[in-house]
């Protein structure tokens, strides 16, 4: 088990993934052939571990915490070092990820597709529908829209978007 996966066991990660995809505990129990109590207890433990992991990552990266929502697997904060908002997310597929808001030249970055793929996986794991052709949107814009959705905020669109 590693910090990047919130110290979850594979079973806890599977249960967390199914829950975050919208399944109710009783349906998770049926799918995995375990009791509902096992699912509930695993989710309680996973929630504690993920909360600890999100906060530990924020501390390691010197991010001041503004919002923590463990059930949705996100932490919103501010990096005094980089002077910018920061996001720490958790999904069963990507584990813990740290993101800093910035204006970037994504088109020249060698990791453009990697960033886009991770962001799209974050959206998919959360059952978020993102509008438009996501294969062409810059990761910085995709991140802005995704993190606003995770936090339950509205995204302000300009004519350029």
Q: What is the pLDDT of residues 113-146, one digit of tens each?
A: 898 889 988 888 888 876 666 667 888 888 888 8
pLDDT band for position 21 (cuts 50, 70, 90): confident
Taking CA atoms, 19 is separated from 117, 134, 153, in Å, by 22, 25, 22
| Contact predicate 160/134, CB 8 Å | no
Cβ neighbour number for residue 158 with a 10 Å cutoff: 5
How are strands ordered across the β-sheet holding 74-79?
63-69, 74-79, 84-91, 95-100
User: Among residues 57, 106, 95, which one has the least CA distance to residue 77?
Assistant: 57
Neighbours of 108 (CB within 10 A): 7
Token code pair at residue 119: 């962001």
pLDDT at 159: 40
Could you tell me the pLDDT band of residue 154, with boundaries at 50, 70 and 90? low
In this prediction, what percent of the chain has a pLDDT beyond 70? 90
The pLDDT, as a whole number, for residue 40 is 97
Burial of 82 (0-12, 13-18, 19+ CB in 10 A): middle
* pTM, two decimal places: 0.84
- Which segments of 61-137 does DSSP mark as H helices, in order? 112-125
Q: What's the mean pLDDT in 30-43?
A: 96
CA angle 31–36–37, rounded 5-degree value: 145
Give the Cβ contact number of residue 161 at 10 Å. 11
Structure tokens at 120: 């799209």
């Amino acid at each position: 088990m590693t910090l990047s996966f919130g110290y979850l066991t594979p079973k806890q990660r599977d249960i967390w993934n199914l829950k975050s995809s919208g399944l109710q505990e009783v349906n998770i129990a049926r799918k995995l052939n375990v009791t509902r109590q096992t699912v509930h207890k695993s989710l309680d433990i996973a929630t504690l571990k993920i909360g600890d992991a999100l906060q530990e990552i924020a501390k390691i990266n010197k991010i001041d915490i503004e919002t923590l929502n463990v059930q949705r697997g996100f932490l919103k904060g501010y990096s005094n070092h980089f002077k910018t908002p920061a996001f720490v997310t958790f999904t069963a597929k990507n584990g813990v990820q740290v993101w800093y808001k910035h204006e970037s030249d994504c088109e020249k970055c060698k990791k453009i597709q990697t960033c886009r793929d991770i962001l799209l996986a974050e959206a998919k794991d959360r059952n978020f529908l993102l509008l438009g052709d996501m294969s062409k949107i810059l990761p910085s814009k995709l991140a802005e829209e995704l993190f606003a959705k995770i936090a339950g905020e509205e995204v302000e669109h300009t004519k350029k978007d």
